[in-house]
Amino acid sequence: MSVKRLEQLAQAEKTAFVFPGQGSQKVGMLAEIAEQFSEVRDTFNEASEAVGFDLWQIAQTGEGLNQTENTQPVLLTASIALWRVWLSLGGVAPKFLAGHSLGEYSALVAGEAMSLGDAVKLVHLRGKLMQNAVPQGVGAMAAILGLADEDVVALCQKVSESATGSVEAANYNTKGQVVIAGTAELVNAVMAEAKEQGKKAIALPVSVPSHCSLMKPAAEKFAQALEQTAIELPCIPVIQNVNAKAAANVEELRQSLTEQLYRSVQWTKTIAHLQEHGVTYIAECGPGTVLSNMAKRLPNIEKTFALDTQSRMEDALNTILVAEGKIA
């Protein structure tokens, strides 16, 4: 899709598209919708050619799917495949785009800030650098449920002051749900403290402690790759993770992508930004329903959609076109 083509699309006033990050992958993703729409396999073929290995085979067999360096390009490609199906069906151009962690790259490709080929190469490298930044077993992540954001931050600071290593808030997902990341021993200590207060703490099955200071070495190397990648400002505003706002220029965009590796994902503020700007419909463009399920519990969100099957795609298409006044 060219910028001109996107500009020709009907523009939504109430709809945002959000793109999921790591953790939404599943074996066999998009198999059903690929049977109905050639855009899915075409997109996977294009991305596979760029990175030099078969992303569709990984997605369907699961072999190597949970290795970060594979997970990231597969998920990005799946999201863009669904985005292209949406456009082929005559879907509106959303008012905003946003992506959770890795999903920010999907949003930028959808907004034509970078090509799919460049993006899959970037996130493949991103996954490798993240994996190599911290030895296996040294880092960890966990979800803390039921505590206010500031209480989670205070717990992390308390634990970090009394031991070697670090633990930080990594993802502010929704009210009462914060993911922490850092040195495994300290992550476990925060979990124990939260449980002592009667709250829930769930260890996440990840091999990389994302969005914390342990990722700074990876960010330094990744910044070099970003500088060598052709990037433009997106033609649909992309709300970025680190500051919950759209970049004013390309340098700011690159800087935010670099910082995203070691700073927390401000997803709660991102969704608040969308709501403050009139968004009442949110479509999750990627495998699964993680982001749409989080958003459906929020006030003033009329409906959320997942797009990863034909029936879900058609439901979203019809409902949003009516809501946006594009069809009666």
Structure tokens at 159: 């634990």
317, 273, 271: which is closest to 294 by C-alpha? 271
Distance (Å, whole) CA 200 – CA 165 = 23
Tell me if 136 sits within 8 A of 207, measured CB to CB. yes
Structure tokens at 61: 């067999």
Cross-strand pairs, 181: 141, 168
The token pair that represents 42 in the structure block: 């075409």
Catalytic residue among 100, 124, 211, 273: 211
* C-alpha to C-alpha distances, 11 to 86, 246, 306, 325, nearest whole angstrom: 14, 18, 20, 11
207 belongs to the catalytic site: no
57 by Cβ neighbours in 10 Å (0-12 / 13-18 / 19+) ranks as middle
Helix (H) or strand (E) holding 19: strand 15-19
Taking the C-alpha atoms of residue 284 and residue 133, their distance in angstroms, rounded to an integer, is: 30
Distance from C-alpha of 123 to C-alpha of 226, rounded to nearest angstrom: 10
Tokens 């996130």 correspond to what residue?
123
Q: Which of 24, 48, 79, 101 is catalytic?
A: 101
Known catalytic membership, residue 213:
no
Q: Which of 299, 266, 257 is nearest to 282 (CA)?
A: 299
Cα Rg for the chain, rounded, in angstroms? 19
Token pair, residue 29, equals 């993703």
Distances (CA, A) of 215 to 101, 104, 108, 222, 260: 13, 17, 22, 10, 10
Catalytic residue ranges: 101, 211
